[in-house]
Amino acid sequence: MEIGVGIEADAKSNIKVKLVSDFMADLSKFLKPINYGQGVLSITIGFICNELVPGYESWHKERKPRFTRNRKVKLLSGDSITSNNNFSYDMKFSDDEYASFIQSTDDESTRVFAIKLIDSLSTFDDLPRSVSDFNVGQFKADIENFVNSKLGVEVSAKQ
């Protein structure tokens, strides 16, 4: 399983972006050897970490989750990259989560991000019907276990 994150950050949150990158790199290494089925082979998470300015909310909207079966992208170098069975979605902090992420210690900021990541896993409940060969339950459990072991405390999705 491949997992990656694209980060959209403002100047205030830019100093904390490395925490998110490092956390996701560790998660990617953890998930790499695990096979959850052929339904979803890679996941791309768009992480929007911007302070919302009144009147500009539409600039930082979460995009709808998207499943792409086959996609071929041609690079400027002439090479091409093929992506198969990719699921992508966005997650965004609320104003309170953003403030907590920015103002907290590095450990607490990582915890705030990890909780948001676990909460975002509910997006997988709405996978298209055509994606039948993907063990969503095991995937969610593995991410929760990784987060709990990484942070040293038990964190679970909001009910």
Is the confidence at residue 21, as pLDDT, over 90?
yes
CA 30-70-25 angle, 5° bins: 20
Q: What is the pLDDT of residue 57?
A: 64
The DSSP call for residue 58 is: G
Measured distance CA(143)–CA(128) in Å, rounded = 21
Summarised one tens digit per residue, pLDDT across range 117-145 is: 999 999 998 888 888 889 999 999 999 99
Tokens of 142: 């593995």
Number of C-beta neighbours around residue 135 at 10 A: 15
Token look-up 């929760």 returns 144
**CA pair distance 93, 51, nearest whole angstrom:** 9
**Rounded distance between C-alpha atoms, residue 42 and residue 86, angstroms:** 5
State percent of the chain over pLDDT 70.
91
pLDDT single digits (tens) 36-64: 998 999 999 999 887 766 666 666 677 78
CA 64 – CA 141 distance, rounded (Å)? 23
* CA-based radius of gyration for the chain: 16
Average pLDDT over residues 141-155: 86
